[in-house]
Amino acid sequence: MENKQLSIGVIGLGYVGIPLVSLFLEKGCRVYGIDHDDSKINQLNQHKSYLSDFTDAEMSQLFKRGLFHPSTSFESVGKVDAILLCVPTPLDKEYQPDLSYVKDALHSCLPFLRKQQLIVLESSTYPGTTEEEIVPIINSKGFTIGKDIFVAYSPERINPGEKVHLLEEIPKVVGGVTKNCTFMAKSIYDRAFREVVCVSSPRVAEMTKLVENAQRLINISFMNELMMLCDKMGISIWEVIDAASTKPFGFTPYYPGPGIGGHCIPIDPLYLSWKASDYQSNLQFIQYAHQINQNMPKYVVEKLKKNLLKYTGKSMSDTNIILIGLSYKKDINDVRESAALKVMKLLLDQGAQVMYHDPYNPTIKISNQSFHSIDLSSELLKTSDCSVILTDHSNIPYKLIVENSSFVLDTRNVTKEMKDIGNIIYI
């Protein structure tokens, strides 16, 4: 396999799938990209980007050597050496794991599977998913895992909006159902990644991903809880974190905010918590961290209420509010699980007139109502009652906002150098 040109199938062409497509293309592989969303495939074929991490020029580059073939059809599955499943794994309304996207994608692959192929699940999920859910579906076609078809789990480690770490430089954890499966998965990923870390089973690899994200959820939630205490004590949590960060060992800075969003950190730990119940275990840290995170948008709104009365003398239903940034993190257009959207909905439910500015999200829909990003001006800012910074995008005129707003509620500490030019409240 070292000398042949590999053909890779990437199922799910979002924030995880497209970077994988790009990386394997760079290494000279032929890549078949599959997504059920017609609009994504149409935009790809027009060399148009739907991801903030990729420009139109970068999308066009994917087609340069004629090795990329995007489609909604699964027929190309029969042509590839490896199938990488990069589909969503959300929670349902009861906060239970929803594997329907994974199962649907796999069932769509079944008619086209052939011997000697590798199937890798990259989507975040609970330990046991690969062996308990993926393997039985493949076995139903009469394949023998580890002999005539190979199955592994390798967690995605994409960090949307982050440009420091190149994807190929991030170690790739791989756990196969058998030793042969691990060997096959390593041989595929060796083509693209500088380091492949083999573990003893898919369950270890699955747990690895959830531990990474659970740690982050717990630490950020802890800082949010400390922030609420510091607020009552008249202490700046931001100054505390800066001071604690001067210790050269034993302290890692995490930062508070309006709530953790995105598809990974607020969701993945609950997959682990759900699975733990099968073993009569109650992961209290995760449950409590989730509770704190869920309450943060309400805390932001309550803080805003108090300061509206202080600075304008108005109640919420009489105010015009400008929200700055709706994405769940800076410099991307992803609003999945965004705390900013939850804040916006709470404000609308309480009768506030709400506008927003977000260069990455020109339109947004909340409660069946469509909103469009406004252009900021000194006149507009002066006529509104306040501005609330919810996402600290790099390309936003923060000085203009601070100078012309009645007051600013900053949930990201992005205006820390502007305290002398306006009224700024920090959470």
CB 146 within 8 A of CB 181: yes
Beta strand pairing status for 150-153 and 118-121?
Answer: parallel
Give the integer Cα–Cα distance in Å for 268 and 125: 7
For the chain, what's the residue count? Answer: 427
Question: Residue 3 is which amino acid?
Answer: N
Write the secondary structure of 348-359 as one string of H (helix), E (strand) and C (coil). HHCCCEEEEECC
Q: Is 220 left (phi over 0), alpha (psi -120 to 50) or beta?
A: alpha
Alpha-helix residue ranges (DSSP H) falling in 190-236: 202-233
Q: Which residues of 147-180 are buried (b: 16+ CB within 10 A; e: fewer)?
A: eebbbbbbbbbbbbbeeeeebeeeebbbbbbbee
Cα–Cα separations (whole angstroms), residue 202 to 110, 206, 368: 21, 6, 41
Count the helices and strands in the chain (H runs, E runs): 14, 15
Active site residues: 264
Q: Phi and psi of 423, rounded to 5°?
A: -90, 110
Give the pairing of strands 320-324 and 196-198: unpaired
Rounded distance between C-alpha atoms, residue 305 and residue 364, angstroms: 24
Q: Give dist(CA 266, CA 278) in Å, integer.
A: 21
| Strands of 265-407, DSSP E | 320-324, 353-357, 363-366, 369-372, 386-389
